[in-house]
Structures are given as structure tokens and as C-alpha cells.
Structure 1
Amino acid sequence: MNQGKKSYTAYISSVIICVLFTIWGAIPSSLLGQYSMKRVAGVLQNVISKQFGWLYVLLMVVILVAVVYLLFSKYGDIKLGRKDDEPEFSYFSWVAMLFSAGMGIGLIFWGVAEPVMHLYDPAIPSSDMLENAREAMTYTFFHWGLQPWALYAFIGLIIAYTTFRKDKPAVISESVTPLFAKKYRGTVSTIVDTIAIIATVFGVATSLGLGAQQITGGLSFSISWIPNTFITQLVVIIIVTVLYLISATTGLDKGVKILSNMNISLAIFLMLAVLFIGPTAYLLDLFVQSVGNYFQKLPELSFRLGAFSSENREWIDEWTIFYWSWWISWAPYVSSFIARISKGRTIREFVGGVLIVPTAFTFLWFSVFGGSGIWQALFNNNNLIQTITEKGTEIGLFALLESYGGIGKVITGIAILLISTFFITSADSATYVLAMFSTNGNLTPHARVKFIWGIIMSSIAAILLYAGGLESLQAVAVLGSFPFLFVIILMGINFFKSLSAEKH
């Protein structure tokens, strides 16, 4: 089977699966009963979390260890490309693009809500609110810190190494098929690329759904006559879909690059505004202390599964396993995109940039927004948790900003703009990667393929919101990640096998 045919088969198979899934989700639950998409996805999510949670946890630990090893190993000087290849983008643009692709919408959606929710519902129940606050920040850092960025760095490095060092097509399967006999490689390639595409579609659709929820929530919270309903969310998805499809026609060096630079600039402005308007000294103290707590407890948290407590295990399934699943479902897309923009960098430069810089920014982000939410809850009698519980997780940021008066309304407008631009860049980047996967790793895929995937992703995001909101989004992220777990393991084996053959 030739490369073009393999790619075409994976593309068609993936489109068919996604279209069937969309149709299934659109059928009202009242007609399907226990076979509705929401019900089935929820059951499968529960089974995967309960039976394979240990595998998610162990894999994320092994990947972090592997990435740290590569950062300091003798392989660090290997260039991702030929000896004379130079990076295509400046360091600032490179970091801005990988960060916008990696976590943009999620940071804004969960920035206030997650630490506040952990404050009132900690992993290990306690009546000591100050201890809960410490645990809330530590667990938030854990979910958004080194492990997810190590995952992106590891898979992105493998793809960049295979594409630019070994001169292979930029598809996931090229990092796996050398492990198999030639007669099986065609079939393996089709299966792996299909799994990667499906994981990407489900992972990105989840994030787009979160973005639509939060844009709608912010508009509704700020403008009383705009209802926070599915219809409004659908209108938001349609408008943003048109915008990111327009952006998708401009190429990486224009649309995504310009918007990513804008994203990081707006994000820094938003973060500094909240830092200096709020309890500045407290937030900076919290940042330093929480970083220390995180590194002190990282080994314990990394292996915690609640084996002796069903209540603790349920919390870990709902939070930690969901996050590991979400990051894994995003990994084919984010890692491929990071690999695409990283030609000419060394392994050490790549790993250091992807692992350290975004993690540091993420820690500061949650210290400012999550810390402000906790400060309001503990010391300013602002019952954020009640607002989040009654109006939805997506309202957390806007409820915090409301407490800052007139300036808070201005910042709210900037926040909604930032969510929208993150939405556009994430979707634009994802359509590029999906089109690349669908055309045998073509680094300049046809706009028609991007359009098809753009419509499919937005349709699935809309269907998931229609079928059950946040619960359906989370369930599908877990489903999309599970098959890709095993692809990651094979990628790692083949990569280290290839590294060992490098000459120094």
C-alpha cells in the first residue's frame, strides 16, 4: 500500500467516524434512551477511568522522566533538521504559537474556577480552609504543570525528529511503523493515523465547546439581555468558525503567527491587570509558596490513585484522570503543530522551550487568577463558589472581575476578546494539523481539507454542548485519548531505538 493510499484511507475513515458520531449525538436522548451518545460516552468514560487510571498516571510519570533525561542527555545537541537549518520563527513567536495551541482557552476557563472548586471540594477532605487553599493551588499546578507540557514536548520531539531529522512525512504513523514488519506497515499506518485524527478532533472539539461556553457566559454575565443558552452558544460557534476558517486560508506565517503574538500580549496584559488591581503582595507570595509546595509534593501527587478510598478515587477520576485524558487527546494536534514550527532547533532547546517556559507562565497565571479567587473567598466574603455552582464553571472569571467595579468591566471585555482569539488560533492550528494528517504529512495542505475539518470540529463541539454540556465534553475527551495511549508507548520505544543509533 503506498503512502498516498494509506493517507487517503485514514482520512476517509476518520471523516466517516466523525460524521456518524455527529449524527448520533444529534439524535435526542429521549429516542435512544440508554444508547444515547451522552449515556454511552459517560459509561465508557467511567470504565476507562476506573480500569485504566493507573496506566494514565504511570505513562505521564514515565514521559516526564524521559523528557527531563533528554534535556540533560548527550542527545541534547542533536538538531531537528539538517546542520545548516535555522529556526523559522523568532523565539517569542515560537513560544506564543506553542502556548496558544497548547492551553489557551483552558487557562481562561479554569483559571479562577478550578482553585476555588478545589478549595471547597479538596482531594482529601479537611475542615481547615487554609490547608484546603494550599492543596487547591498545589493540585491546580499539578494538573497544568510539568506533566502536560512534558507530554507535548515528548510527542512533538518525536514527530519533529522523524520529520526533519529522518526526512519522513509529518504523520504520527511514521514514528511507529518501523517497529513492524513491512507487510504489516500499511495496515498499522492507517490505524495509527486514524486514531491520531479522531483523538485530535475529539480533544479540540472539547476545547472549542469550553470556549463557546465561556464566551457566551461572559456576554450573558456582562449584558443582561443576552441569554446563556445553547442557541447563543451555537451562534458563537458559527461566528468563530467563519473567522478561523478565514484565518486558515492565510497560512502559519500570517494568521496563526499574528494571532498568537496578539494572544500572548493580551494574556500578559490581562494577568498583570488582575495582579496589580488585586492583592499584589499576597499573590506573589502565593506564587512562590505554591511553586515550592508543588515541587515538594510532585512525587506523591504523580502516583496518587486513591486505592484505599473510594471517595478520593472518585475525585481523582473526575479531575486528574480527566486532565491526563484531555492532554493526551490534544497531544497529536498540539505536538504536531509544535513540531511543525520547530525545525532547526536542537533537542535541548526544543525540550527546554516547550517544558519550562509555558509551565512557568502557567504557574504565574493560576497564582494570579486562582489566587485572587481564593483570596476573595477567604478574606473578602465573596462567595464565588455559589456563583460557579449556580451559573456554571465558565462564569468564575467574570464573577471575579465583577468584584473590581468599573475597571473589572473593561477587563471583562478584554477577557472575552482573548477567549475569542484563543478559540480562533486553536481551531486554525487544529485544522492545519488535521489537514496535514489527512494528506500524508503535507506541510502545506489544501484549504479544502482544512475547511472540511473545521466544519466537522465545530459541528461536534455544538453537538456535545447540545447533548450535555461540560459532562459530555469531558467524557468524549477521555474516549478520544484511550486508543492514543498505546500509540504513545510505541512512539517512545521507536524513538529511543532510533536515538541509540545516532553517532556522536
Structure 2
Amino acid sequence: MVEPQPPSTAPGGTVNRAVFWPAAVIIVAFAAAAMIAPDASGRVFDTIQSSIVTNFNWYYVLISALFVAFCLWVGFSRYGDIRLGKDDDEPEFSLGAWFSLLFAAGMGIGLVFYGVSEPLSHFADPRPGVSGSAGQLAQQAMSQTFLHWGVHAWAIYVVIGLALAYAIHRRGRPISIRWTLEPLLGSRVRGRWGDVIDVVALVGTVFGVATSLGLGVVQIGAGLESAGFVEASDLTSIVLIVIITGAVIFSVVSGVTKGMKWLSSFNLALAGVLVVFILIVGPTQFLLRDLVQGIGNYLQNFISLSFTVSAFAGAEGEAWQAAWTTFYWGWWISWAPFVGIFIARVSKGRTVRQFVTGVILVPTAITFLWFSVLGGAALYSELAGPGGLVGSDGSVDVESALFQMLAQLPAGSVLTIGVVLLIAVFFVTSADSGSLVMAMIATGGSVEPRRWIRVFFACASSVLAIALLLSGGLSALQTAAIIIALPFSVIMLGICWSTSIAFAREHRAYERASRAAFRAHIGEYYGLEVEEPAQRGAGVGLVGRIRRRHPSTRQPSGRPPEGPVEG
């Protein structure tokens, strides 16, 4: 049976109404409620977050570990040689360029925001139940940070990216999340089921981008306050969002896509310069030892960290879990459609094994270096340096911790301006790329969606970020990520199942084709006898002698008689 071709994307990049309007209504309603009644919305967010963490804390931890296991299994199983493209397709990008693009796809704003504050926070306020000397607490802080930003995060991205890359490059499907479930749902992905999948993916992407933008402007405000320009406040954050969103809209309307690519490359170079500078002027030997030992400790405790849910720590453990691990797993899941589409597009021609290995290992290694240098410098300051990054009450100023640490280094004021610029550019490029991905989902996979659609989603993400900041700040941003990840996690479980089905079908098809091509010649290679080679040789010699001595034993066909031959 000839498989029906997938429907083409909307003509001229117009919206798929069954996807765009439901998603737009959800986003606008959520933002309006948060802005009109911020206090009431904040209380609702707290209630929802408490309910989800209480009832689904174990679920987020379990599925994240499951995603890691799935990626390792599919990457290093017999399916690893499947090519994400036609059989003769070569990789579109060189290995070095591909690695650079993978890192650029990830967590730019988040890395800057949490590079110092997270290791420092785990050191000052460890996970309930963790104790020890200052050095042991610093080691645990780094391992906990590696857990949140390492293999688990990128495995979540692999689940979406791999399924999309297979659907786009191997099966020729449009760039839309629904097609990742085609092997499981069949033709139903072309109807309402597919629309629901894309709506959930689209809303999740908007919330994921809004969370990153909210974190970005909060830290830009803290940096500007540290440099003495303005005082950090909600008003400052709103003004910054409006200004940067204006830059994004200008980019979209003017079509300066090449400029955005150069800007993104410049930002990666700037981030690299920052790490190298701190590594050189900071406690170099300590930071290098911290990196090596941190990786070893992370690997040693990988299983136990992966399944930790603070089960015996009571309400305090639940609160800690909500603020950190559950928030991260929710954030990565809501961010996964955006990153998944990006890495799928740049991975044409790679094999499944190359995809899994590259996407998990390379960005993870670079991320570990980032946290070991920035977070390690902050920990060293507390352990053997001037200190002052942790308050007398054990608190850490999450928004300002990075700038406080930079102020202790040579050229601290210059570094502060550089970091503010780094975050701003990450903000612009993330919002620009995010608006493109959201517009692609809303149009059913159009590579060139209309500009007004991209402008709409750029504005929607910014308005949602403002609404979340007004209704609870960082806590509201974390809650939004946790909430939206819950329904999309179910879709991701279905994507794992669907990808397994697709790969198994292809493997069986290749095996059948190989057997069919080989069957006519199998006797030339193996013979049709079932005896061992030594017995086969002896039997043939005996039959030959019998035939020569007793011609009557020969059959008309020249074959030996059936049944035993008595000599």
C-alpha cells in the first residue's frame, strides 16, 4: 500500500487555525490574569506548585531518568546506525561546526544566571539531609549542579530532537511536533490529535522562552545596579523587556537573519573569553582540579542523584525539590520543543549513534567547564578567599551573585559590563530564534512563516515574562515551567514509544530486504547441510564412495537417495 503523503504546510506560511488560536487564547488569558490580579495569581501559582510537587515530584524524577535510559539504549543499540536522512546523505555541517551549533542551542541565559548562584546556593543551603565539612558541602554543591545541567537536561532534548530529525530528514515530514508521533498514532496525527499535540508543544515553548527571558532581565537589572547605572526593580525589568523585544521585532521585520547569526557567534566567543579570563586570573589550579574531581564525583553518584526525591526530608525537602530539581526538569521539558527543532534541523546526515553521543556529551562537557570555572571561583572565595558572597544568614542573592564574584577579580567593572552585554545578546537571539520556532509550529511546519506571526510570538513571550515577574518573580517563573511541563511530559513518553516503533519497523524492513536479496545465493556461501563441517566433509566422501561402488544408489537427478545408506 502506498503511504499517503503528509499535508503540505499552510500556503505562504499562514497559521494553522486549529493550533494557533487555542494556543493564543491560553497564553493571552494566562498573561492577562497574572497582570490584572498579580497577588491572587501568585497565590494560585503557589497552590498549583505545591500540589504538583506533592503529587508528581516522584514522576518528574522518574521520567527524567527514563529519558536518559531511553537515549542510551537507542544510541548504542542496533538502531544506532540508522541515518537521519537518506542512506547516502552526508552530514550538512562539519563536526566542529555541528558541535558549536549544539552548544548555541542550549541554555545561554540560564547558564549565565545560575553559573555562580546555583553552586553557591547548594553550598550555603544544602539539600535537606546533606551534611559534612565545608569542603564536602562544596563538592556536593557542584555535583548537584552537574545533575541539573548535565546528561538529564540534554537527554530530554535528544528525545524530541531525534524523533524530529528522523521525521524531517528520513521521512520527509514538515517541521512540526505532531509528526514525531506518526509511527504510534498513524493518520490520526493529521487531525485533532495532531492539533492537540502541537498546541501543547507551542504553549510549552512560549512558557519556556518566557521563563528564560524573565531570568535574563532580572539579572541584567542586577548587573546594571552593580555597575551603578540604575536600581534593579520590576519597572526596570519591564523597561528592559520592552527595549530588547523592540530589537527582536526590528530583526524580524527587517529580515536581518544573517546579522543575528553573527551576533550569536559573537556571544559564544564572548562567553568563551569570560571563562578563559576567570580561569587565568582566578585560582587556576583549584578550578582545574575542581573540574576533574567534580566530574568524577558526579559519575560516581549518578544513579543515586538521579533518583533522589527528598522522600524523608518532609515539607522542607519538598520545598527544596520544587525550587531546584523539579523546576529544572520542568524547564527543560518546556524548552525541549524549541531546542529539539533546532538540533534536528542542523543534524541532517548524522547517524542515530552520532546524534545521541554528540548532543549529550559535547554540550554537557562544555557546561561542566562553565560551572567549574564560574561556580568554582565563587566556592573558592568562600573556602579560601575573601568570601562575602553568602550572607550572614546563609542566604545567597541569586540575581547579583555573579556580579559580586566578578567584583573580586581584576577588571571587575569591565567584566560586569561584558556579562550584561552577554545576557542582553542571549536575550535577543533566544527571543528571535524562539519566535521563529513558535511560528513554525503554529503554521504546521512552514520554514518561512509570515513575519506578523513571528512578531506576535515575540511579543507574547515578552508579555508573559512581564506577567510572571509581576505575579511572583522567580517563584512564578519556576511554577510556570513546572505546570506546563506536566502535559507535555506525557507527549514525550509517547514520543519515546513512537520512536522505538519507527526504528524497529525500519530495522525489520532492512532485515527482510537483506534476506530476500541473499536468499537466492545462500547455498553458494553456506550450503544447505545442517551437519558440522567435519561431519559434512566425511559424509560427502562416504556418499561418493558408495555411489562409485553401487551405481544403483544414484537417483535420476544425480542426488544421493533419501534416508540412511547402508554400506
- TM-score above 0.5, yes or no: yes
User: The TM-score by the shorter chain falls in which range?
Assistant: over 0.9
Match of 1:247 in 2: 251
TM-aligned CA deviation for residue 197 of structure 1? 0.6
Q: Deviations over 1:127-155 (max 9, x none)?
A: 52111111100100011000001111221
Q: Deviations over 1:409-434 (max 9, x none)?
A: 11112111111111112111111110
Query: C-alpha distance in 2, partners of 1:73/1:122?
Result: 38
TM-score by length of structure 1 reads 0.93
Q: Deviations over 1:160-208 (max 9, x none)?
A: 1111111112111112244337468512111111100111111110000
TM-aligned CA deviation for residue 381 of structure 1? 3.4
TM-aligned CA deviation for residue 217 of structure 1? 0.8
Residue 203 in 1 paired to residue 208 in 2?
yes
Q: Flag the 1:351–1:254 CA change in 2: closer, same or farther, 3 A.
A: farther
Match of 2:542 in 1: none
Residue aligned with 1:386, SS:
coil
Query: C-alpha distance in 2, partners of 1:439/1:408?
Result: 46
> 1:367-446 maps to which residues of 2 (within 5 A)?
367-386=372-391, 392-405=397-410, 407-446=411-450
Structure 2 segments unaligned to the other structure (5+ residues):
1-5, 511-567
Query: C-alpha distance in 2, partners of 1:497/1:154?
Result: 14
Match of 1:333 in 2: 338
Residue identity over aligned pairs, in percent, reads 40
Match of 2:184 in 1: 179
Residue aligned with 1:45, SS:
helix
Query: C-alpha distance in 2, partners of 1:152/1:251?
Result: 28
Q: Determine if contact 2:53/2:318 at 8 Å carries over to the other structure.
A: no
> 1:168-317 maps to which residues of 2 (within 5 A)?
168-180=173-185, 182=187, 186-223=191-228, 225-248=229-252, 254-310=258-314, 311-317=316-322
Match of 1:33 in 2: none
Residue 20 in 1 paired to residue 25 in 2?
no
Which of residues 477, 483, 486 is equivalent to 1:482? 486
Query: C-alpha distance in 2, partners of 1:56/1:394?
Result: 26
Query: C-alpha distance in 1, partners of 2:351/2:252?
Result: 28
Residue 360 in 1 paired to residue 369 in 2?
no
Query: C-alpha distance in 1, partners of 2:502/2:383?
Result: 53
> 1:96-175 maps to which residues of 2 (within 5 A)?
96-123=100-127, 124-175=129-180
Query: C-alpha distance in 1, partners of 2:346/2:231?
Result: 40
Q: Flag the 1:184–1:430 CA change in 2: closer, same or farther, 3 A.
A: closer
Letter in 2 for 1:439: T
Q: Determine if contact 2:184/2:498 at 8 Å carries over to the other structure.
A: yes
Q: Deviations over 1:35-78 (max 9, x none)?
A: x2222122111111121111111111111112122332232222
Instruction: From the CA coordinates, give the structure whose radius of gyration is larger.
Output: 2
Residue 49 in 1 paired to residue 53 in 2?
yes
Letter in 2 for 1:157: L
Letter in 1 for 2:468: L
Query: C-alpha distance in 1, partners of 2:7/2:21?
Result: 16
Moved more, 431-440 or 388-397: 388-397
Q: Determine if contact 1:100/1:422 at 8 Å carries over to the other structure.
A: no
TM-aligned CA deviation for residue 258 of structure 1? 2.0
TM-aligned CA deviation for residue 259 of structure 1? 2.6
Residue 350 in 1 paired to residue 359 in 2?
no
Q: Aligned-pair RMSD on alpha carbons?
A: 2.2
Query: C-alpha distance in 2, partners of 1:359/1:133?
Result: 20
Structure 1 segments unaligned to the other structure (5+ residues):
31-35
Q: Flag the 1:256–1:83 CA change in 2: closer, same or farther, 3 A.
A: farther
TM-score by length of structure 2 reads 0.83
Which of residues 86, 89, 94 is equivalent to 1:82? 86
Moved more, 271-280 or 97-106: 97-106
Residue aligned with 1:176, SS:
helix
Letter in 2 for 1:347: V
Q: Deviations over 1:311-365 (max 9, x none)?
A: 3343223211111111111011111121122222222222222111100001011
Letter in 1 for 2:304: E
Query: C-alpha distance in 2, partners of 1:423/1:99?
Result: 16
Letter in 2 for 1:215: I
Letter in 1 for 2:184: L
**Whose helix fraction is larger, Structure 1's or Structure 2's?**
1
Residue 73 in 1 paired to residue 77 in 2?
yes
Moved more, 141-150 or 3-12: 3-12
Q: Determine if contact 1:113/1:388 at 8 Å carries over to the other structure.
A: no
Query: C-alpha distance in 2, partners of 1:236/1:491?
Result: 38
Residue aligned with 2:391, SS:
helix
Q: Flag the 1:387–1:253 CA change in 2: closer, same or farther, 3 A.
A: farther
